[in-house]
Structure 1
Amino acid sequence: MKTLGIFRHAKSDWNDARLRDFDRPLNKRGRKGAAVMGKHILEHGVGWKRVLASPAVRVTQTIELAGEAAGETPPITWDRRIYLANSAALMDVLREQEGNPASIILIGHNPGLEDLIFDLVPDDGSSPLRDIVEEKFPTAAYAVLQLDIDQWPDIEENCGKLVHLVRPRDLDPTLGPNIED
């Protein structure tokens, strides 16, 4: 059994049209959401053995603020392939992990992260949390999956169960949709 965490970057700023997508920072609500989620992730207590992350600015800032709020930031493996990757590419990144860590948290972007959940968790009506993800996996959302595999190279579609899902608005209503920054 392996544990996979999926953490989407917090809300980014679209105000500077001159910036490349890769270079967009977090906006005010995103900074607050990253901090709230960082504390939750620590309190949830998985104890992530490996952190894999996109090096995009909005992801690096999300991790920095989440780590500050939690009081710790584990070592991070930055992998540019995670930036805007689709589900198949993310599964390839996970399959390549050496050392067989018990848990990995993947920090990146939609639609790839959301699609990864859909590919790993069967659509058989048994997961009300999957139904919530189908509505939307918003910025700074955090999901935990239990994977029925012994080694990361064994990851395949429908091998997972979604056991935990928290969105920023679940912890702080001011971080919900349609709230101005």
Structure 2
Amino acid sequence: MKKVLYLVRHAKAEDRASFQRDHDRDLVSEGIMAAARMGRHLAAMGIKPDCLISSTANRAKDTGKVIAEQLNLDPDSMVLEARLFDGGPKAYMAAINEVSSQCQSVMLFGHNPDISYFAEFLTHADVGSMSKGAVAIIEFDGLEWAEVSGRTGQLVDLIVPKKLKES
């Protein structure tokens, strides 16, 4: 049985301000629109993940909520993982390894550079730096989430928001 992981980098957020914690930065309107467009695109592809996981940072959570709404999923079902914010690729690995085997597909919302490194670690593909709002689709054949590790996945697609048509 195949497991599918959708790694989503958060959409465009506010610039860092000296008075604001990085964790609390919100999406800007352009980011909200891009996340909605990506969500509609994923819905048109028939994508409907069983489980949603997000960093606790506002920009990641909000990207997740917008995309979940476009996929007709309950945004409140999203599991929030504090360690995905500045926890490094090891935190991403731990979050994936802990996913219930009941979930066949997982959508995870996180941050660069960790999410790009994680995609490359899992697939050994040259992902580069994922753009804001991009989605990497990775498949694992015959593995449980607890067995996922380096080079066990195959990069199926990398969807970049700028290449989607305005709608």
Aligned: 1:40 with 2:41: yes
CA distance in 2, matches of 1:78, 1:33: 22
Structure 2: unaligned runs, 5 residues or longer: none
Q: Name the stretch that deviates more: 29-38 or 10-19.
A: 10-19
For residue 76 of structure 1, report the CA deviation from its aligned partner: 0.8
Structure 1: unaligned runs, 5 residues or longer: 123-129, 174-181
Structure 1 segments of 4+ aligned residues over 4 angstroms from their partners? none
Aligned: 1:110 with 2:103: no
CA distance in 1, matches of 2:47, 2:31: 23
Who wins on radius of gyration, i.e. which is larger?
1
**Residue-pair matches, total:** 163
Aligned-residue Cα RMSD (Å) equals 1.8
Which position in structure 1 is the counterpart of 2:95?
93
TM-score by length of 1: 0.82
Q: Is the 8 A contact 2:16 2:22 kept in 1?
A: no
CA distance in 2, matches of 1:62, 1:9: 6
Q: 1:4 to 1:15 in 2, by over 3 A?
A: closer
Which among 141, 155, 163 is matched to residue 156 of structure 2? Answer: 163
TM-score by length of 2: 0.89
For residue 47 of structure 1, report the CA deviation from its aligned partner: 1.8
Which among 134, 137, 141 is matched to residue 141 of structure 1? Answer: 134
SS in 1 for 2:103: coil
Q: Deviations over 1:16-64 (max 9, x none)?
A: 4311001001123212211111111222223201111112111122123
Provide the identity percentage: 28
Q: Is the 8 A contact 1:31 1:65 kept in 2?
A: yes
Matched residue type, 1:72: N
Q: Is the 8 A contact 1:53 1:108 kept in 2?
A: yes
